[in-house]
Structure 1
Amino acid sequence: MALQPPPHSDEIKVSFPQEHVMLLTFNRPKSLNAVTPTMTEDIKKVLDWFDDEPGLWIVVITGEGRAFCAGADLVEWNKRQASGGAEEDQKRLIRDVDGFASISRRYSSSKPMIAAVNGGAYGGGLEIILNCDLVIASEDAMLALPEVKRGVVAVQGGMPRLARIAGHQLASELLLLGKPITAKDAATRFGFVNKVVPKTEVLSTALAWAAEITGNSPDAVQSTKRALLLAGRHGSVEDAVIAHVNSKESKRAFTSENIQEGLRAFTEKRKPVWKNPAKL
């Protein structure tokens, strides 16, 4: 039976390029994939559906055209500001627990997200990347958190996550100067890009990595991602370990058919055949 994502506008595209993998494409190329409220609502609906679909194990996120994502649509933001919408904007930031584009603070999902960064990523676009588990970027991609240049602030999860990854001083370089960096610098100096490849190889590399992950037990993969997320929320190793052991993903991994299949396949010296994980 063909997968049927929820209805959405043409501001995003959804496809299934290989088994267990969903490809989510930002589709406003003329606006460098700047995110609108409609786009955010579409992404939330699709990702909520993806999270609940047992046969989908990984999402790859990319952008149509020459940019990954230019962040928020500042023209729309200016209209809201001019009409006195500042207080509502602040309330919305707290209310929208999944963050910018329903991705930058998404914590509920234990399914891996791979960013296939095909071009520039600015502001919220970079905050999206910082919340992905793996990042493949094109050689020509430029990345920036230029909010201070526009009088706004990168409040959607980018600041604490960048500080944790890169350290205070390097995070300050991006956040206080607002200047763009290359994908190579993001990989070698700042540490939030996994691999830099030619632009023509970005998506194929991301899909190849997705295929490698789907060769592993989905129960174990999702339990592992939950452990990584919990590590960011707990101050000590012991607290993170206990929280992970008590998580739904961990309990499922220890009792699933897939753990039995993995151990049995190892003893029988064959490749395991994984099943879709049970719904949590």
Structure 2
Amino acid sequence: MASKFILTSAEDGVFTITLNRPEKLNALLPEMHMALEEAFDRFASDDALRVCVIKGAGDRAFCAGSDLTAFKTDGSTPYPKSGYAGLAQRYDLTKPVIAAVNGICVGGGFELALSCDMVVASEKAVFGLPEPKVGLIAIGGGVHRLVRQAGLKRAMGPLLTGRAISAQEGFAMGFVSELVPADCLDDAVAGLCAQIVANAPLAVELTKELAMWGLDQPTLADALTGQVERPAFHRWMASEDAREGPKAFAEKRKAEWKGR
């Protein structure tokens, strides 16, 4: 479902998704969830796209969450198969997704950011899950992801009170990957993307896959011994890139990645 409120672009292996309702703090309408599902489907299926950046239009907000004037509270508002914002329950996406957070990032907007692999935030960013203040619950992944990413005791205060979390506190809690001045956000994200794109595609994807899969294993020993059984592990071991990297290093030249 196309939406004028979701803009996409692709350049040099970077796929950018922009939430485009700046006058409404980029709050999400039902149609935007479906458009986001399609955008992430495109990113996942196109081998030329190596990393995804999601950001909000304007300089006031990343996303203020769901536009409550357009959502039904009886559970009848439809969500895509991959969950809130087309990402919250997309468990098979092995390519990295970066949230570039430039201001207000609350409610469902914060849940979207927490669903990303990295959060690069402006020093002016403000986070929070204020759902209890309006009788709701952050069931789009916010409750579970914040506990996992920040730790139980640190997460419970903001979860139960619905209070705001500054960018500096978010960095200390661990869910903000990088904290940068507001006027450096775009450059910081672009630099991070360039570093990722410069690496071997299969190695990047397998690294993410193993990291996420490993978190679900009961022990470190299980993760270490079980990783070699992953189909992606065997695909990487047999790939041209796995041979090209060491060869290029030994020959003191830039590697030519094939993605296979």
Alignment partner for residue 33 of structure 2, among 40, 54, 57? 40
In 1, Cα distance between equivalents of 2:103 and 2:139: 23
Q: What are the superposed Cα offsets for residues 15-43 of structure 1, whole Å, 9 maximum, x if unpaired?
A: 12x41111111111111111112111111
Matches within 5 A, 1:64-79: 64-65=57-58, 66-77=60-71
Secondary structure of 1:172's counterpart equals helix
In 2, Cα distance between equivalents of 1:147 and 1:176: 9
Opposite residue 103 of structure 2, the aligned amino acid is: G
Q: 1:200 Cα deviation (Å)?
A: 1.9
Name the Cα RMSD after superposition. 1.7
Q: Is the 1:99–1:157 contact (alpha carbons within 8 Å) kept by the matching residues of 2?
A: no
Alignment partner for residue 109 of structure 1, among 78, 83, 93? 93
Tell me the TM-score normalised to structure 1 length. 0.87
**Residues 158/239 of structure 1: CA separation in 2 closer, same or farther (3 Å cut):** farther
Q: Is the 2:30–2:70 contact (alpha carbons within 8 Å) kept by the matching residues of 1?
A: no
Report how many residues are paired: 259
Matched, 1:186 2:170: yes
Tell me the TM-score normalised to structure 2 length. 0.94
Secondary structure of 2:28's counterpart equals coil
Q: Is the 1:265–1:271 contact (alpha carbons within 8 Å) kept by the matching residues of 2?
A: yes
Moved over 4 A (4+): none
Q: Look up the match of 2:123.
A: 139
Q: Look up the match of 2:183.
A: 200
Opposite residue 74 of structure 1, the aligned amino acid is: L
Secondary structure of 1:74's counterpart equals coil
Alignment partner for residue 157 of structure 1, among 131, 141, 165? 141
Q: 1:233 Cα deviation (Å)?
A: 2.2
Q: Look up the match of 1:54.
A: 47
Q: Is the 1:104–1:158 contact (alpha carbons within 8 Å) kept by the matching residues of 2?
A: no
In 2, Cα distance between equivalents of 1:161 and 1:251: 30
Opposite residue 42 of structure 2, the aligned amino acid is: W
In 1, Cα distance between equivalents of 2:238 and 2:120: 33
Q: Is the 1:230–1:243 contact (alpha carbons within 8 Å) kept by the matching residues of 2?
A: no
**Residues 245/97 of structure 1: CA separation in 2 closer, same or farther (3 Å cut):** farther
Opposite residue 54 of structure 2, the aligned amino acid is: I
In 1, Cα distance between equivalents of 2:68 and 2:226: 39
In 1, Cα distance between equivalents of 2:33 and 2:5: 9
Sequence identity percentage: 39
In 1, Cα distance between equivalents of 2:51 and 2:106: 24
Secondary structure of 1:25's counterpart equals strand
Q: Is the 1:145–1:154 contact (alpha carbons within 8 Å) kept by the matching residues of 2?
A: yes
Matched, 1:246 2:223: no
**Residues 26/243 of structure 1: CA separation in 2 closer, same or farther (3 Å cut):** farther
Opposite residue 246 of structure 1, the aligned amino acid is: E
Q: Which moved more, 1:232-241 or 1:65-74?
A: 232-241
Matched, 1:28 2:11: no
Q: Look up the match of 2:208.
A: 225
Opposite residue 193 of structure 1, the aligned amino acid is: V
Uncovered stretches (5+) of structure 2, i.e. residues with no partner: none
Q: 1:243 Cα deviation (Å)?
A: 4.8
Q: What are the superposed Cα offsets for residues 22-71 of structure 1, whole Å, 9 maximum, x if unpaired?
A: 11111111111111121111111111111110111100110001100111
In 2, Cα distance between equivalents of 1:72 and 1:225: 28
